[in-house]
Amino acid sequence: MKIDLPNTTVSKIQKTLVHIREEGGAVALGRVLTLVVSTALGREEEAIEAANQASREHPMRVVIVSKNEGDIASPGRLDAQIRVGSDAGASEVIVLRAYGETAADEESLVTGLLLPDAPVVAWWPEAAPEKPSASPLGRIAQRRITDAAAQKDPNAAIMALADSYAPGDTDFAWTRLTLWRNQLAAALDQPPFEPITAVEVSGASDSPSTVLLAAWLGLQLKVPVEVTTSPRATGSSGIHGVTLVRESGTIELERSLVDVATLSMPGQPTHDLSLPRRNLRDCLAEELRRLDPDVLFGDVVKHGVAKLRERIAG
């Protein structure tokens, strides 16, 4: 069910939510968090779909704030839409389309719509603030999710996050590494247990996940990491492969197909492993499983990326 509220106010939206609840529709008692999503006007649906799917694992209230960044000087207006039932998964979705001066204060728009005593997660699916923790939405959120791959310069976005990081920040470029990190950790858990002497990570030149994987390996293995990149036009996007060198031989994990990677280890047959590219729903659902700061990501982005940047610059 979708309820449109043109030219409305936050107070009227609250009253409509109460009315829906009293009529026996959506209830907020089972919601575990409020997800606040900041998008551009007309770009809301992909984020709503991902949130609806993730809500089956994490029942929540979703507040979408969409605005036109270049329209702040025009007369202010707030249009809203409330989605419940089959149109909202296991959540209730409130879409706020803000125009003109009304869009200037995102924090005021959402404060009255937050669930009481529930954590707040802020998500920027596309353009993100320079310092998420200091932004209007970031200040009220315990967790802040960005996506460097969606920025104009993905690698520069990761480098900027290394400088602006605050506990609670995370990025989908890191979430997309979960399967890679699991496979590499499993390979290193097998004998012979020898130290790694060199590491090479390859990927597309516009892949921030390649940068984070190299930073993570350098930090965990305490060895220099070589990063090789190729233009996206000449190869697949994302990470291409990882090579770990040790005395007894080389471990290679390469993704030559979209969802399949090949693992080669000395003295063992070659294995084909499932290594799919993670979609938006999977990334969002994983990040919502934890509402405390991701300490490992903080170390990687603050220290690992910094070391990698120094190595590249040198």
CATH of the domain at 27: 3.40.50
Q: Is residue 161 part of a domain?
A: yes
pLDDT of residue 94: 97
Intervals of the chain under pLDDT 70: 24-30, 69-73, 232-236, 311-314
Helices 208-221 and 305-313, packing angle to 10 deg: 100
Q: Is residue 65 part of a domain?
A: yes
Contact status, residue 301 vs residue 68, Cβ threshold 8 Å:
no
129 shares its domain with 259:
no
pLDDT of residue 269: 93
Kindly state the greatest CA–CA separation across the chain. 70
Q: For the chain, how many structural domains are there in total?
A: 2
pLDDT of residue 256: 80
42 shares its domain with 122:
yes
Residue 229 has φ and ψ, to the nearest 5°, of -130, 160
pLDDT of residue 236: 63
164 shares its domain with 200:
no
121 shares its domain with 205:
no
Contact status, residue 224 vs residue 244, Cβ threshold 8 Å:
no
The CA–CA distances, whole Å, from 235 to 136, 230, 232 equal 39, 7, 5
The CA–CA distances, whole Å, from 152 to 127, 157, 160, 208, 282 equal 8, 8, 13, 12, 23
109 shares its domain with 249:
no
Domain range for residue 202?
Answer: 178-274
Domain boundary among 114, 136, 171: 171
CA gap 263, 270 in Å, rounded: 6
23 shares its domain with 140:
yes
Domain boundary among 116, 138, 171: 171
